[in-house]
Amino acid sequence: MPVENPEMHPPSVSVPAARGFETTPALRGNIYHEVNPIAVLTPINSAQMRFNVDHMPFIPIAGIYVANGDVVSEGDIIASLDFPDIGDEYDSLSRRLAIIDFEMQIQMERHDLMVRLASQAGERIRETPYIIAHNNLKAEREIVEALVEYVQSAYEERLLRASMSGVVSGVMRFSEGMMSDSRMVIAVISDQLVSSFRVRGEFAGLMKPGDLVYITMAEDVFQMEVLDPELSGFLAQDAAQTGGADGDPEPVAHLWFTDEPESFTGTTGTVRLLIGEIHDVVYIPVSALNRTDFRTYVYVMADGVRQVRDVVTGFESGEYIEIISGLEEGELLVI
């Protein structure tokens, strides 16, 4: 008998979920256009720290002990070369000096005792053995002292000390196996007390002497004033430097704290510079705007439907843009 096919179920129809849109309203308010040029600590006096190793090149660097922004005093150790045997030799010589001093003290005390006993007995003692022994110890001590001085000098040569007080404005990144080289700048120390912060480039040209701006360094915010280069020969000379490709002077602005802080961290900061503002306008996020060669438009949600709407724009910041016509406050835009 033929086998009857099983009953087929009716086909199922899948309906895709309605597409959702992310929207944002057109707002009314103020737009501020802020830029954030970088300001760099610019000292009048600075020192490049290098190892003096012309006569002993290619010694491993043991470590670099400062970082950018560290405040150092003259004589502080910045870095050191490897010297595994010098410390042991210095300790050995120091112990020998202590032993010699102890032997000379014992020798003198014995001699004084012999003199007193001989004087009481009405006898004379032989001074020659004491003088010879004392002179031998004295000569040995002078030799050991000279060796200690030499070892101290060799040790000091392997230390890089700050030649001035200031802030570390540049430092080489240390890695194991680095070798000494007299041309290698280990760190740069700048005079923090006689310094300004310099901004270079187009935005520097927007800052005029006497303007007040804010600068952020690390997590601290400081108020600064734009300095007049004509009041300082150093600033005037720096402002006259050429840096553009066409040889024209590059705009430079120098800033300094309105209230000098006790200390600050870092050698660079970000300036908050307001270059434009507009008030009581309709505006939208720049990300909601679409531009082509022929039109400027947005997508508007009207009755649950996305519609294209041409707009006329005006003032623009990095984040928001003014809408002169084409939108009303509160209308929803698809972004």
Would residue 16 count as lying in a domain? Answer: no
Q: Which one has a higher pLDDT value, 2 or 213?
A: 213
Would residue 14 count as lying in a domain? Answer: no
Strands 38-43 and 195-200: antiparallel
Cα-Cα-Cα-Cα dihedral sign, residues 256, 260, 266, 272? negative
The per-residue pLDDT for 242 is 41
DSSP state of 206: G
Q: How many other CB atoms are found less than 10 A from the CB of residue 29?
A: 12
- Residue 182: give the domain boundaries: 51-80+160-189
Same domain as 213, residue 118: no
- 257 contacts: CB under 8 Å, gap ≥ 6: 222, 223, 224, 225
Bridge partners (DSSP) of residue 159 are 80
> In which band, very low, low, confident or very high, does the pLDDT at 174 lie, cut at 50, 70 and 90?
confident
Q: Are 198 and 39 in contact (CB under 8 A)?
A: yes
Would residue 7 count as lying in a domain? Answer: no
Rounded Cα distance between 205 and 252, Å, is 7
The per-residue pLDDT for 249 is 74
Q: What is the CATH number of the domain that holds 320?
A: 2.40.420.20
Same domain as 146, residue 98: yes
Q: Are 330 and 292 in contact (CB under 8 A)?
A: no
Would residue 5 count as lying in a domain? Answer: no
Task: Count the domains in the chain.
Answer: 4
> In which band, very low, low, confident or very high, does the pLDDT at 71 lie, cut at 50, 70 and 90?
confident
Same domain as 263, residue 243: yes
pTM for this structure?
0.48
Would residue 326 count as lying in a domain? Answer: yes
Would residue 124 count as lying in a domain? Answer: yes
Over 80: is that where the pLDDT of 19 sits?
Answer: no
> In which band, very low, low, confident or very high, does the pLDDT at 11 lie, cut at 50, 70 and 90?
low
Indicate the length of the chain as a whole number.
Answer: 335
Domain end, chosen from 223, 243, 274, is at 274
Percentage of the chain modeled with pLDDT above 70: 86
Rounded Cα distance between 75 and 252, Å, is 34
The tens digit of pLDDT for each residue in 239-272 reads 555 444 455 678 888 898 888 777 777 778 999 9
**If phi over 0 gives left and psi between -120 and 50 gives alpha, with beta otherwise, what is residue 215?**
beta
Same domain as 135, residue 95: yes
Domain end, chosen from 157, 180, 199, is at 157
Q: How many other CB atoms are found less than 10 A from the CB of residue 334?
A: 14
The per-residue pLDDT for 152 is 83
